Amino acid sequence: MQHSRLKRCLLPSLLLSACVAAPAIPAIAAPPPAPSRALAVAGTGVRADTVPVTVAPLGLPTPPVPADNPPSREKIDLGRKLFFDRRLSFNRTLSCAMCHIPEQGFTQNEMRTPVGIEGRFVKRNAPSLYNVGYRQHLFHDGRESSLENQVWQPLLRENEMANPSVGFVIETLRTAPDYGGLFEAAFGRGPGIETIGQALASYERSLVSAGSPFDRWYFGGDEQALGAAAKRGFALFNSAGCARCHTVSADHALFSDGAFHDTGIGYARAMLAPDGDTGKVRLAPGVEVVPEVSFSRPEANDLGRYEATGKAGDRWRYLTPSLRNIALTAPYMHDGSLPDLASVLRFYNEGAVPHAELDPLLQPLGLTPRQLRDLESFLAALTGDNIQRLAEDGRSTGIGDTGLQ
């Protein structure tokens, strides 16, 4: 009886999160397949060397480390265990890794925005966690500046992991037999609001990925590392103005200015009438249906950076994402409304969504189809050389979903 009620409640929630296209923006479609992205069985991966990254990898600067949370092997191992533990959600069903999937670029490729606990609607796309330790602002609206603090928001938000309090999470871990002694080994004390945040942050900071073909060519001097189309694409990347927001320095490239920009997508969703086209609904990888009825998506009046500052000038501005590993992290934009890189490039080539507050850097580019393909080749060359290793390392831990009533 309960199982049938759960299916009746959960399916509409999944449909709500997947089926409504943004106004004036292409509808979501399945991202193109990529190798080595099938979900692995927990506990079957290969544990990577979890010595903290303290030197600059090729293409990136030295990783920043907070003075009050220096990394250690014990912290990273504990953070990994927490990241994959479904007991950290109120009903013991949802882990961090279910929205930030290792084989899918530490984001979620199947849906434009994740589904929270009990199928609850989440209004923004799950950001990739590659190189998250370099970010000065977290979340699409930049409302947090510390990974140690950031982790508590999904743990407590009622539409994500929905824990009723910090104390509830602490008690969950304090009474879990398999966590006995782990916090003490990592921090010299038991689980608490500080140590839980520090452990998860330590694991997330270990997700450093560089050494891409672009890095080996541009920073390493290997002319054979990058193909001709990608080289032409990088020249266009600079001449078309892409590098003004996705910055490249002399000795490293974060591919983000760390600032907030209005691309018109937030404006379009809030201010332009929807087109009413439901189209196909993706229920699971390879499973699509055309609804016989219309499903209205919950209203999400997303005001972007304004929600973090209260300043009118920040309305519909969102944080510039890094382009590293961008080929792995579809769908794109803060609402997941653009399904693939070709759609993103067409969007910017056409000048985004014109309106009064549109960022002045965004203008129609007038690029040819071949030039757009060259740009896409360049973006595909930003994939790091350790992607598979990071995914296998994540899957080396078991999924915590036993041991508690």
Give DSSP secondary structure letters for 341-394: HHHHHHHHHTTSS--TTS-TT-------HHHHHHHHHHHHTT--TTHHHHHHHH
Give per-residue pLDDT as tens, 197-210: 999 999 999 999 99
Domain assignment present for residue 400? The answer is: no
Q: In this structure, are 179 and 244 located in the same domain?
A: no
Give dist(CA 177, CA 184) in Å, integer.
14
Q: In this structure, are 205 and 130 located in the same domain?
A: yes
Whose tokens are 């309960």? That residue is 2
Averaged pLDDT for residues 309-322: 98
Domain assignment present for residue 180? The answer is: yes
Give per-residue pLDDT as tens, 215-251: 999 999 999 999 999 999 999 999 999 999 999 999 9
Q: In this structure, are 51 and 153 located in the same domain?
A: yes
Instruction: Of 269, 261, 278, 263, give the one whose Cα is nearest residue 314.
Output: 261
Which residue segment(s) compose the domain that 67 sits in? 36-209+386-394
Q: In this structure, are 200 and 256 located in the same domain?
A: no
Q: How many domains is the chain partitioned into structurally?
A: 2
Q: In this structure, are 143 and 255 located in the same domain?
A: no
CATH of the domain at 40: 1.10.760.10
Domain assignment present for residue 190? The answer is: yes
Checking if the pLDDT of 39 tops 90, the result is no
Domain assignment present for residue 242? The answer is: yes
Domain assignment present for residue 290? The answer is: no
Averaged pLDDT for residues 319-338: 97
Domain assignment present for residue 336? The answer is: yes
Q: In this structure, are 244 and 188 located in the same domain?
A: no
Q: In this structure, are 192 and 263 located in the same domain?
A: no
Q: Which tokens go with 346?
A: 């067409």
Burial 121-154 (b: 16+ CB within 10 A, else e): bbbbbbbbbbbbbbbebbbbbbbbeebbebbbeb
Domain assignment present for residue 17? The answer is: no
Q: In this structure, are 143 and 261 located in the same domain?
A: no
Q: In this structure, are 308 and 194 located in the same domain?
A: no
Confidence of residue 19 (pLDDT cuts 50, 70, 90): very low
Percent pLDDT > 90 in the chain is 75
- Predicted confidence at residue 17, as pLDDT, reads 38
Q: DSSP character for 401?
A: -
What distance lies between CA 169 and its chain's CA centroid? 23
Q: In this structure, are 205 and 351 located in the same domain?
A: no
- Report the predicted TM-score, pTM, of the whole model to 2 decimal places: 0.84
Give per-residue pLDDT as tens, 355-392: 999 999 999 999 999 999 999 999 999 999 999 999 99
Question: Over the chain, what is the mean pLDDT?
Answer: 87
Q: In this structure, are 165 and 249 located in the same domain?
A: no
Going along 3-100, which residue ranges are E strands?
A: none
Q: In this structure, are 229 and 202 located in the same domain?
A: no
Under 8 Å between Cβ of 372 and 345: yes
Q: Which tokens go with 402?
A: 């036993």
Under 8 Å between Cβ of 7 and 118: no
Domain assignment present for residue 199? The answer is: yes
